[in-house]
Amino acid sequence: MKSWFHLNPHSGIPMYLQLKEQIKTAVAGGALHPGDRLPPVRELALTLTVNPNTVARAYSELEREGILSAEQGRGTFVSGGEPLLREEERRVQVQSLIDKVLVEAFNLRITGDQLQAIWEERLRAWEKRLQR
Amino acid sequence: MKSWFHLNPHSGIPMYLQLKEQIKTAVAGGALHPGDRLPPVRELALTLTVNPNTVARAYSELEREGILSAEQGRGTFVSGGEPLLREEERRVQVQSLIDKVLVEAFNLRITGDQLQAIWEERLRAWEKRLQR
DNA sequence: GAAATTGTATCAAAACATTAATACAATTGG
DNA sequence: CCAATTGTATTAATGTTTTGATACAATTTC
């Protein structure tokens, strides 16, 4: 449980977004489990040499998204339970993300077959990391 | 070839991005074909009640991406020919988009099976629109 | 060749987003 | 109960992006 995250102040991507992304990836990939406690905002801010507000923003946006759960005085944790949105809404979100991928892919002149192959490859890669 | 695009100034998404997105979708979906001419920047700017620079920005970014092709004095056209990036690079781009979808999906607690079903459904939906 | 049409370039203004400084509030631990 | 720990809220400073005004350049049309 050491130096998980690292931020690049010059990447052009806001640091709070970099952190959000890394936390989401860690959760999806099984490096963080429901109930795990994240470092306090000030502590993580120190190790990342970043303003505490930057960490706080990442945490609180992830809480709004139902991925973390914060309790004042106690800490911030990976949340396990029920999704915030109902099935239908989550489905729609994923659909629209996938539609974006399809538009991009076709504009990149990727064929349906190539696309399908990449999809299967990536899905397999993630399934491995998920079945812990 | 009428009122294709419409922009919402209050959506929170910059208008030049909305326009880019709509053009990309039209191209991917077969509403616009290689060689088709787009309206002149000033004309489209009028119909969308937007500054000409806004349209020009969308056009020129899409040109950089190899989707449109502009010629001063003549107009702007949907480009048909070879992709700008080589196979490998395009593959990587699509891969990373798909990885983002997977992370989002798993954080939304969508199961692999559900995800696979949505993928197949959307791919079929687009394939229909593409085989013209 | 001149006027019209079209995309391009430059620069500034306005809007927006990110980061920072600081203070507040709830919980825990002794 | 008091100090320490932790997340939250407010506000300002800074930085970045988007939009707009205007002028320029290439091509077409007559």
Per-residue model confidence as pLDDT tens digits over B66-116: 999 999 999 999 998 889 999 999 999 999 999 999 999 999 999 999 999
- Looking at beta carbons, which residues of chain A come within 8 Å of B121? 95
Show me where the domains of chain B are located: 15-78, 87-130
Amino acid at B12: G
Residues 42-81 on B with a CB inside 8 Å of A are 65, 67
Taking residue B17's Cβ as centre, other Cβ atoms within 10 Å add up to 14
Q: Mention the CATH class of domain A15-78.
A: mainly alpha
Strand D nucleotides, any atom under 7 Å to a protein CB: 4-10, 17-22, 25-28
Q: Do A94 and B85 touch (CB under 8 A)?
A: no
Per-residue model confidence as pLDDT tens digits over B112-123: 999 999 999 999
Contact B120, B112 (CB under 8 A): no
Q: Give, in Å, how far the C1' of D29 lies from the CA of A115.
A: 46
Per-residue model confidence as pLDDT tens digits over A67-98: 999 999 999 999 988 899 999 999 999 999 99
HSE-CB of B131 using CA atoms within 13 angstroms:
6
